[in-house]
Structure 1
Amino acid sequence: MNLFKQYRISHLLFGCFFLFILISLCIIIYVSYQYSVRGIVDTTTEYQQNQLKLISEDLTSKLEAFEDYSIVLSRQQIFRDVIRREQPFYGGNVNSLTQDFSNIVYSIPAIHSIEIYLNTPPIDNIQYPVRYSDLASIYDSTWYEQIEDISSTWLGKRTVKMVAGEQPVISYGRKINTSRGLLQSVIIINLDPYAVQGWLLGFSEKSNLVLVDNEGNVISSTSSFEIDELFFDKLLEAKESTADELLTYQVRHNENFVVATSISPVNWMLMEITPYEEMVSVSRKMAKSLVGLGIVAIFLAFIGTLLLTRSFTKPILHLAGVMSHYQMNQPNPDLPKGYKNEFGILFKGFQDMMNRSKMLYKSLDDQNRRQREAEIKALQANINPHFLYNTLDQLNWLAIERGDHDMSKMLELLGKMLRIGLSKGESIITIENELKYLDYYLRIQKIQLEERIDYKIKVPKPVQHYFIPKLTLQPFVENAIIHGFQDGRKGTVYITIIEEPNHLMIKVIDNGVGFRTLSPNKNKLHTG
C-alpha cells in the first residue's frame, strides 16, 4: 500500500517531516555517544598499554634479581659442603648455612623464607626462615611437574608452614645436580605476596592491577578480583590472536574492560581491570544531556512542523477545491494572487490550463489531420522494405535464368539476412534469430571464398530463447574471417555459447594466422 496515495498530503507532510527530525536527532545522539565512547576506550587502552609495558619491564627486572639470588645461594661454598655430606651434620656447617641464609632473608624484605630439600635433611626448626625438607618429598608435591624438566622456574603461589601457621608465598625453585646429572638438592626462594602487592601499589594506587600465572591463578593484585575459567579463556584467545611483536591485548568481560600484557621471562600475565561503566560515565552524561536537548528540540520541531504544514497545504487544498468544482461551461474561477514561489506557478499553470483547454477543442481537426499524415508515412516506411525484397527476388530469378547458381544462392541468403536485420525496427532479437543471421552470412562467405572457410555453431536450445542486441556476433565473425584467413589458407570458425550463472559466455574462435606475439628468445615480433 502506497501511503502517499491513501492519506491527505497535510498529514503525510507533517508526519514525514516530524519523523525525519526525530530520526535525525536519534542518529546524532547515538553517533555522538558511540564516537565519544570509542575515543575514551581507545585513549584509555593506549595509556594502559604504555603503563603496563613499563610495569612489566620493572617487574621483570625485580623477578630476575631473585633468580640471580637463587644462583648466588646455590653456589655458596658452605651450601655445597652441606649437600655433599651423606649423613646429617647438626652443627658446624648446617648452623652456619642457616645463619647465613637467614641473614639474607632478613636483609631483603621481599624474601619471605628459603626452603632447602636434601637427601638427609637436619631436624627442621620452624623458628627460622630457612627450612629443611627431605628431597624425596618433592615427588609428591604439586609443583614438581613445573621444574621436573628444567633447572629452575617460578612455581607460582604456594603455602608454607610457619610458626604462625600456613602462609601464602610466591616461590622460585632451582635444582642442584651432581656432575653426573643426578638431582642433589632443590632450593626454593619464597617471596612475600604483600611485597609483590606493594610493588603493584607503588606503580598506581588507583589502578586495579592483577598478576596471574599461566594457569590462571592470581599471584598478586591491588584489589580482590576473581578470575573464572571463561575469563581466562578469553585472555588466552586474545593473547594468541595478537601479533608476536605486540605483547599487549585487551578483552571485555562482565562489564569490565581488561588490558593485559605478557611477562615473557616468567610466562605470567599482568592486567589492569577497569569497570566499563566507569570508562564511559562521561559519555553517558553527555548522552543524557543530548537526550534532554533532543526532547526540547522535538517539542519545538513539533510546533514548527505543524505551522509549516498548514502554511504549505493551505494553498494546495484551495487549488484542489477549485479543480474539483471546475466546469468547462462556467467562467474561470478566481485564484489566489501574490504567490511568487511554486504555488504561484501552480495557480498560473492551472489558469493557463483552463485557457488552453478551450483552444484544444478547436485544434482537434488539425491533430486528426496530422495523425492521418503520420499513418501514411508509416505505411510508406513499411512498403520500402517490401520493395527491396521484391528487387532482390527479381535479381535472384535473373541469376537463375543465366545459370549463375552461386549468385542466386547469395541473393537468396542476402534477402533472408535483410529480413532478420530489419526485424520490424526491433533492436533486440532472440539468440536464435541472431544465429540464423550469422548462418546466412557464413554461407555467403563460404560461396565467396570457394569453400575455404568452414564453420561450426554449438549453442544449446534453451540458450537460444534469450535476447541479445541485434548484429552482436557478426562483426566478430567477420573480423575472424578477414584477419584470420587473409593469406588464403583454409580454416574453421567456431561459435559457442555457454550458459553460466547470471550470464552467458560467447566464444568466437578461429584457427587462422593468430595474433602477433613477442619472441622471448630473439626479442622480435613473429606471428603465432
Structure 2
Amino acid sequence: MPNNDHEVEKNLGNRRTWRLLPGQYARRLRLRNMPLRYQLMLLFLLFAIVPSVGLGLLVNWTVERVVERQVEGHTMQLIGKVNEALNTKMENLQNMTYLIAFEPDVNAFMDEKLAGDRGGPGSSEPSIGKGDTVSEQNRLYGMKQTLQGFTTLYPEIAGIVLVNARGDYVSNEMYPRTAVNLTREEWYRRAASQPGIFTVLGQPRERNITTHVRYKDDEIVSVARSITDETTGRVKGAVLIDLKLRSVSQAARNVTLGKSGYVMVADAAGKSVYKPEHPLIDHIPASWFATGESGTFTQVVNGETLLFMYQSSTFTGWRTVGVFPTKDSISEVRQIQFYVVSFVFVVCLFGLSASLWFSRSIAQPIFRLMSYMRRAETGNLSAGRWSNRTDEIGMLGNSFNRMLNQIRQLISLNELRERQKRDAEMRSLQEHIKPHFLYNTLDTIHWMARKEGAEDVSDMVGALSRLFRIGLSKGQDYIPLHSELEHIRSYLQIQQTRYRDRLQYTLHIPEELQNLYVLKLLLQPLVENAIYHGIKGRRGPGHIGIEGKVEHGRLHLTIQDNGAGMSSERLDEMLRLLDMPMESLESTLPERTGKSYGMLNVQARLRLSFGSDYGILLHSSPGVGTRVTIVHPLMRELPATVLPPAEPEDTQNRQEKE
C-alpha cells in the first residue's frame, strides 16, 4: 500500500506539472521573460528587417513617383517643342498673309478694281471681259508671280489662292473644280465670319478648289484669313494657303516616347491632323480631354492601357498628344524593384548573422556580471575578473568592481561614523548640562538677592535669565510675538539699569497680534542699534517706541527713536547694504558693516526665510531720529518644518517657581 500511494502521488504531481506547462510556455514566450540572448537576437532582427522592408517600400513608392514625374516632364517638354514648332510654322503663314495683303495689286483685286480669273477647271478667263488692257493683264500676272515666289521660297506650301467678295480668284497653283462661286465655300465663310483673324481650317473635306498636283485631302492642311477694309471693316476677300502635311509631320515624326510611344496632332474635335503609320489609336474622342491647356489621362484601348499626355495650342486650337503604353514605364520600375528586393534580402541575411554574433558578445559578459552580483548578494564583496574590453560592457564590469570597492569603504566609513555619532551624542548630553547649570545659577542669585533685599540686583538677574532663556528658545527658529516682546522688555530693563533716566521706552502691540509667530531675535539687534547709535549720541533723555500693526495682510513692527539720526550719505549707504544683505555681511571691510551688522543680520534672515518681498524699511533724518519697520508675514501657526523640542523638566519647574 505505501508503494501504491507513492505512485499515485507521483502521477498526480506529473499531471500538475503537465497542467502548468502551457502557462509556463506562454510566460516564456513573452519577450521580457525570454533569455537576454534571444531578446537581443529578436531585437536585432526586428531593427534590421523592419527598416529594410520599410526602406524598400519607400524606395519603391518614391521611384514610381519619380519615374512618373520624369516621364511626364520629359514628355511634356517634347510635346511643348512640337507645339512650339507648329506655332512657329503657323505664325510664318500668318505673316505671309499680311505680306500678301500689303501688295497694292492685291488690294486693287480685293477692291474689284482689277479683274481676276473665273470659271471651271483650267479656266483663266478674266471676269471683266475682252476689254482688259495689257496693263491689267500684266498686273494680274505680277500677282501670280508673287504667289509663285512664296511657294518657291517655302516648299512646304502646296498652293495660295486669293478670292475677292465677287468670287474672282488669283492663284499660281490652285483652281476651282466647278464654276460655283468660291465665296460659297465653307472655308471662305469661316474666314469671313472672323474678319482679319488668321484661322486654321485643318484638313479640307469635299472642297471645290484644288491644286494642279491634286493633293489628297489628308495630305494638306489649310489656313485662311479674311482681308477687310480698314475704314469700314467690310470683308473684301480672303487668302487661302494649303500647307503640305509633311511639314507638320516633320515636327512630330522624329519624337519617340519610350519603346513604342509617339506624338500625334489632333484638332479641337479630336480628329487626327497627323498620326504615324501604325498608330495605337486612330481617333481620340474629345470627351477624353479635360478642360485646360494640358493634362494627363489613361484609357484602355484594345485591351491595352495607354497613357495620354497632351498640350493645347491657343494659336492653332490643335492638341499635341503623346501616346505610349504604361508598360514602357513599368518595366523600368520593375527593374528597380528587383534591386530593392535583392538589397532587402542581403540586409536580412547580414542582420541574422550579425544578430547571432552581437547577442553572444553582449549576453555572455552580462551573464558573468549576474554571477558576480549573486555572489555579492551572499556578502562576498571581492572584485570579479574581467577581460580587457574597453567598450560599455567592459566599463560596466569595471564600474561594478569600483562599486564593490566603494561599498566596502562605505561600510567601513559607516562603522566609523556610528562610533563617532555615539561619541557626539555623549558629548551633547554632557553639553546640555551647561545651560541648565547657568539657568539654575542665575535663579539662585535672583532669589538670594531678593532674600537680602537687593531688589535692583534681583530684577536685573531675573531679566538676564529671561533674556538667555528666550534667546536660546530651546533651539527653535520661530517664537510667538509675546515671547519676543518679553525678550525685548528684559533687554530694555537691563539697559535702563545702565542708562537710568536717559532711556525711556514704550511698547504698543495689540493683544490680538501677540500670538503670531515671528523669527526670534528680530527686535533686540534693532533696539540695540537705536540705543548705541541714536540715544547714546543725543543730549538729554531719549525715547524708543515699539509698535505693531497689520497692513496689506502683513505684520509691520516699527522701532522709532528720537536720537541723533543719520546723514543722507549714511542713509544711502545703509539702503545699498540692506538691498544686498548677504553680500554685505560677507564683506571683508569691517568699517563698512561694523555699525550695521545687527540690522543686516535681521535683513538677511528675513530675506532667506520669506523672500525679497519682506525685510526692513529704513527712514532717518539728522537730529530727528530713525524709524526702522520690519515687514513680516502673518504666521498664525508654527511652520510645519519647525518641530518644537521637548521642554526640559527643570525649566518647567523654574517657570512655575517664578
Please give the TM-score of this superposition, normalised by the length of structure 1.
0.53
Task: Kindly report which structure 2 residues correspond to 1:355-434, keeping only aligned pairs within 5 A, or say none.
Answer: 361=411, 363-368=413-418, 389-394=519-524, 401-402=543-544, 421-423=607-609
SS in 2 for 1:298: helix
On the 8 A contact 1:111/1:191 being kept in 2, the answer is yes
Question: Counterpart of 1:22?
Answer: 49
Distance 1:418 1:42 in 2: 74
Distance 1:126 1:340 in 2: 102
The one of 231, 234, 237 aligned to 1:185: 237
- Are 2:263 and 1:209 aligned? yes
Question: Counterpart of 1:63?
Answer: 90
- Are 2:109 and 1:81 aligned? yes
Distance 2:405 2:382 in 1: 12
Distance 2:334 2:264 in 1: 28
Q: CA deviation at 1:336?
A: 6.7
> Relative to structure 1, is the Cα distance of residues 264 and 327 closer, same or farther in structure 2, using a 3 angstrom cutoff?
closer
Task: Kindly report which structure 2 residues correspond to 1:298-317, keeping only aligned pairs within 5 A, or say none.
Answer: 298-317=348-367
SS in 2 for 1:186: strand
Q: CA deviation at 1:396?
A: 5.7
Q: Which amino acid aligns with 1:394?
A: Q
Distance 1:396 1:118 in 2: 124
Q: CA deviation at 1:111?
A: 4.5
> Relative to structure 1, is the Cα distance of residues 286 and 263 closer, same or farther in structure 2, using a 3 angstrom cutoff?
same
Question: Counterpart of 2:338?
Answer: 288
Residues 112-168 of structure 1 deviation map (CA, whole Å, 9 limit, x = unaligned):
676777654479x996499854469789x7x56xx7565122335364214899769
Question: Counterpart of 1:153?
Answer: 198
> Relative to structure 1, is the Cα distance of residues 324 and 231 closer, same or farther in structure 2, using a 3 angstrom cutoff?
farther
Q: CA deviation at 1:29?
A: 5.0
> Relative to structure 1, is the Cα distance of residues 110 and 349 closer, same or farther in structure 2, using a 3 angstrom cutoff?
closer
Which is further off, 173-182 or 197-206?
197-206
Q: CA deviation at 1:299?
A: 1.9
Distance 1:134 1:36 in 2: 59
On the 8 A contact 1:156/1:170 being kept in 2, the answer is yes
SS in 1 for 2:206: strand
Question: Counterpart of 2:19?
Answer: none
Question: Counterpart of 1:459?
Answer: none
Q: Which amino acid aligns with 1:65?
A: N
Task: Kindly report which structure 2 residues correspond to 1:113-262, keeping only aligned pairs within 5 A, or say none.
Answer: 119-121=165-167, 128=177, 132-134=181-183, 151-155=196-200, 157=202, 159-162=204-207, 170-178=221-229, 179-193=231-245, 195-201=247-253, 208-211=262-265, 219-220=273-274, 224=281, 226=284, 232-233=290-291, 235=293, 253-254=297-298, 256=307
Q: CA deviation at 1:333?
A: 9.6
RMSD: 6.2
Distance 1:318 1:135 in 2: 107
Q: CA deviation at 1:362?
A: 5.0
Question: Counterpart of 1:93?
Answer: 126
Distance 1:117 1:44 in 2: 47
Distance 2:559 2:330 in 1: 86
Distance 1:418 1:332 in 2: 49
> Relative to structure 1, is the Cα distance of residues 16 and 69 closer, same or farther in structure 2, using a 3 angstrom cutoff?
same
Distance 1:111 1:131 in 2: 25
Residues 143-199 of structure 1 deviation map (CA, whole Å, 9 limit, x = unaligned):
56xx75651223353642148997696442212223532122233334354541244
On the 8 A contact 2:228/2:234 being kept in 1, the answer is yes
Residues 47-73 of structure 1 deviation map (CA, whole Å, 9 limit, x = unaligned):
778766765664444323322443455
Q: CA deviation at 1:209?
A: 3.0
> Relative to structure 1, is the Cα distance of residues 266 and 138 closer, same or farther in structure 2, using a 3 angstrom cutoff?
closer
Distance 1:109 1:320 in 2: 96
On the 8 A contact 1:78/1:93 being kept in 2, the answer is no
SS in 2 for 1:62: helix
Q: CA deviation at 1:288?
A: 1.2
SS in 1 for 2:236: strand
> Relative to structure 1, is the Cα distance of residues 162 and 80 closer, same or farther in structure 2, using a 3 angstrom cutoff?
same
Question: Counterpart of 2:632?
Answer: none
Q: Which amino acid aligns with 1:187?
A: V
User: Identity across aligned pairs (percent)?
Assistant: 15
> Relative to structure 1, is the Cα distance of residues 323 and 16 closer, same or farther in structure 2, using a 3 angstrom cutoff?
same
SS in 1 for 2:43: helix
Distance 1:411 1:115 in 2: 122
On the 8 A contact 1:119/1:136 being kept in 2, the answer is no
Distance 1:216 1:323 in 2: 86
Q: CA deviation at 1:294?
A: 2.9
**Number of residue pairs the alignment of both structures matches:** 407
Which is further off, 11-20 or 87-96?
87-96
> Relative to structure 1, is the Cα distance of residues 324 and 189 closer, same or farther in structure 2, using a 3 angstrom cutoff?
same
Higher radius of gyration, 1 or 2? 2
On the 8 A contact 2:307/2:326 being kept in 1, the answer is yes
On the 8 A contact 1:115/1:133 being kept in 2, the answer is no
> Relative to structure 1, is the Cα distance of residues 77 and 303 closer, same or farther in structure 2, using a 3 angstrom cutoff?
same
SS in 2 for 1:66: helix
> Relative to structure 1, is the Cα distance of residues 181 and 353 closer, same or farther in structure 2, using a 3 angstrom cutoff?
closer
Distance 1:204 1:186 in 2: 38
Q: CA deviation at 1:295?
A: 0.8
SS in 2 for 1:161: coil
On the 8 A contact 2:264/2:272 being kept in 1, the answer is yes
Q: Which amino acid aligns with 1:161?
A: E
Residues 467-520 of structure 1 deviation map (CA, whole Å, 9 limit, x = unaligned):
xxxxxxxxxxxxxxxxxxxxxxxxxxxxxxxxxxxxxxxxxxxxxxxxxxxxxx
> Relative to structure 1, is the Cα distance of residues 420 and 135 closer, same or farther in structure 2, using a 3 angstrom cutoff?
farther
> Relative to structure 1, is the Cα distance of residues 371 and 30 closer, same or farther in structure 2, using a 3 angstrom cutoff?
farther
Distance 2:619 2:330 in 1: 82
Q: CA deviation at 1:17?
A: 1.8
Q: Which amino acid aligns with 1:289?
A: Y
> Relative to structure 1, is the Cα distance of residues 405 and 270 closer, same or farther in structure 2, using a 3 angstrom cutoff?
farther
Residues 276-321 of structure 1 deviation map (CA, whole Å, 9 limit, x = unaligned):
7645754642441242243133123213312431342134235435
Distance 2:63 2:85 in 1: 33
Q: Which amino acid aligns with 1:84?
A: E
On the 8 A contact 1:113/1:130 being kept in 2, the answer is no
> Relative to structure 1, is the Cα distance of residues 26 and 340 closer, same or farther in structure 2, using a 3 angstrom cutoff?
same
Distance 1:174 1:446 in 2: 105
On the 8 A contact 2:270/2:284 being kept in 1, the answer is no
Question: Counterpart of 1:466?
Answer: none
Q: Which amino acid aligns with 2:362?
A: F
> Relative to structure 1, is the Cα distance of residues 277 and 167 closer, same or farther in structure 2, using a 3 angstrom cutoff?
closer
> Relative to structure 1, is the Cα distance of residues 138 and 62 closer, same or farther in structure 2, using a 3 angstrom cutoff?
closer
Q: Which amino acid aligns with 1:12?
A: Q
